[in-house]
Amino acid sequence: MPAKPSFDAQRALRLAHETFDIEARALLGLKARQGESFVHAVQAMLQGAGRVVVMGMGKSGHVGRKIAATLASTGTPAMFVHPAEASHGDLGMVTDRDVVLAISNSGEVDEIAAILPALKRLGVRLIAMTGRVESTLAQHADIVLNSAVDQEACPMNLAPTASTTAQMALGDALAVALLDARGFREEDFARSHPGGALGRKLLTHVRDLMRTGDALPSVAPETGFTDMMREMGSKGLGATAVTDPQGHVLGIFTDGDLRRCIEQGTDLRGLSAGEVMFKKPRSVRPDALAVDAARAPDYWFPRNCPRVLAWTTPTSSPADTKTIIGPGCGSRVHAVEYSWLERIRTVRLYAYRLPANVFEPLIEPQPIEPISKPEPHAHVATVPVRPLAPPEPVGDLLALHEQAGIQLRALPELSGFWAAVTASSLGWSGIRLRNAAIWDPAIPR
C-alpha cells in the first residue's frame, strides 16, 4: 500500500527548478546532435507526394499527435496513426507516397517493431526519432533523428519527462523548417485556423459598414452651421457629407473637425457647411475592405452601439492608467451603457478573414496641423481581394473580451467617462456617441 503523501514546499520548489534545468540541458544537447540527418528529414518530407504519417506509443504517441497537428496546420499534410491499430487494419491508411515519422525513445517498442517489415514492403521512407541510434527502429530507418537525453527530470529517472520535451522540440523544429521552405504565410495559416485567434483579425467590406440613402447625413454647401449639426445629430453618425445637387461629395465635416474648430477659437455661428468642411476627403470604394486586425476589438459590438474605448500607449501616465483603466485591469477598457448589455450578449456578428499583404494604412486627413503624429485608424485594399474563407461567426462578444484581456465596463451613462478619457494621456476613441441614451449636454461628443 502506498505511503501517505507528504508535502514539503521547499522540496517541491527545488524539484521544479531542477526539472527546468534538466530539460533546458536536454534541449541544448538536442541542438548539438542535429546535423545532416535533420536536413535529410526535412528534404524527405518536402519531397514526399503524400502525407507525413506520425506514429508513437505511450507518451511518445501523445507527442506524435501534437507533432502531426502542428505539421498539418503549418502547410505539411500529416496525420497520426496508432501503431497498435496499424497492425489491425489501420496500416491501410499509409501509402507508398507517404513519409513515416516513427517516435520511440528506446527504439524497441513492440507495436512499432511489428509493423516495420510491412512499412518497408510498402516502400515508404521511414524517419526514426529515437534516443538510441543503435536500436531496432533506427536500424530499419532511412533517416535517424537523435533525440537522446542524458537524464530524465523524474527523480527515479523513469517517467518520460526530458525525453518527451526533446521529442516535442524536435517536432517543432521540423515544422518550422518545413513552413519556411514552403514559403508558408499568415494567410495560409488562416485557412487551417478558422476558429483560432487568427480569426479575430476582422476585416469587413466598406459596403457592409457605410450608410446610404436617407440614413446618410448629407447637407448642401450653403447649409448653415446649426442646421448641419442638426443633420448630424438626427442621423447619429457623428459626421456629415457636404454634397452638390447631383450628390457628389464636395467635403466632409466630423465631430473631430468640430473639436478642432473649438480648440482654435473659431466663431462657428455664422459659417456655412461649405466654409468649415474638409474639402476633397479621401474616399474608399464600397468593395474595399477595412478595419485592421489590431483594431478588431473596436468592432465587437452591434453596429449602432455607442461606446467609449480607452487604452494605454507608450506615453500614457501611470496615474491616468490607474485612475481610468484601474489597477490590475489590463491595458484596455471598453465602456458601454447598461441598456446595451443584453444586445451585446445575444447579437450574432459575422466577419471575413482576408490576406493582410494587400492592405495599406489609412490615416484620416487633418484640416489643421495635428498635435501629434496621426495613427492609421484602418487599413484598406484598393484592389479586389478574395476572402480566405466564407464569413464566419465572430462568436460570444463577452467571451472575446475576456480572452483578449479587455475590460467591458457597463455604465449608466457615457459622457462622464468620455470627458475623463479625452482629457487623459491614454489613447481613446468614441464610436456612435450620438446614439447614447443619456448624455450631459455640457460635454461635447
Q: How far apart are CA 119 and CA 112, in angstroms?
A: 10
The answer to whether residue 331 is domain-embedded is yes
Condensed to tens digits (0 to 9), the pLDDT of residues 318-351 reads 899 999 998 878 889 999 999 999 888 888 777 7
pLDDT over threshold 80, residue 92: yes
pLDDT at residue 152, as a whole number: 94
Looking at the structure, tell me whether residues 47 and 175 fall in a common domain: yes
Burial (CB count <10 Å: 0-12, 13-18, 19+), residue 213: exposed
Which tens digits make up the pLDDT trace of 181-235?
888 776 566 566 555 444 434 344 566 677 888 888 999 999 999 999 999 988 8
- Give the CATH number, domain containing residue 170: 3.40.50.10490
Angle at 239 between CA 233 and CA 244, to 5 degrees: 105
Q: Is residue 7 part of a domain?
A: no
Pair 346, 410 in one domain: yes
For residue 215, give its domain range. 211-279
282's CB contacts (< 8 A; 6+ apart) are 362, 364, 365
Q: How many domains does the chain have?
A: 3
DSSP string, 277-344: SEES-----TT-EE--GGGGGGG-S-TT--EEEEE--TT--HHHIIIII-TTS-SEEEEEEGGGHHHH
State the DSSP string of 167-191: HHHHHHHHHHHHHHHTT--HHHHHH
Residue 145 inside a domain? The answer is yes
Residues 312 and 426 in one domain: yes
> Which amino acid is present at 160?
P
Looking at the structure, do residues 138 and 39 belong to the same domain, yes or no? yes
Q: Are residues 327 and 244 in the same domain?
A: no
- CB neighbours (10 Å) of residue 403? 12
How confident is the model at residue 187, as a pLDDT?
A: 57
Q: Distance (Å, rounded) from C-alpha 70 to C-alpha 62?
A: 13
**Which pLDDT does position 191 carry in this prediction?**
60
52 and 116 co-located in one domain: yes
Half-sphere exposure of 159 (CA within 13 A, CB side): 6
Q: What share of the chain has pLDDT > 70, as a percent? A: 85
* Model pTM above 0.85: no
CA distance 315 to 322: 14
Residue 368: predicted pLDDT: 41
pLDDT of residue 210: 77
Tell whether 180 and 233 lie within a shared domain.
no
Helix (H) or strand (E) holding 260: helix 255-264
Greatest distance between any 2 Cα atoms in the chain: 94
C-alpha cell at 189: 495559416
The DSSP symbol for 79 reads: E
Q: 154 φ, ψ to 5°?
A: -60, 130
What are the Cα distances from residue 74, in Å, to 43, 175, 362? 16, 7, 31
Stretch 41-51: mean pLDDT: 93
Same domain, 272 and 293: no
Q: Reduced to 3 states, what is the DSSP secondary structure of residue 100?
A: strand
**Which pLDDT band, with edges at 50, 70 and 90, does 264 fall under?**
confident
Residue 397 in any domain: the answer is yes
Whole-number Å distance between alpha carbons of 135 and 80: 22
What is the rounded average pLDDT of the residues 368-372?
42
Helix, strand, coil percent content, the chain, rounded in steps of 5: 40, 20, 40
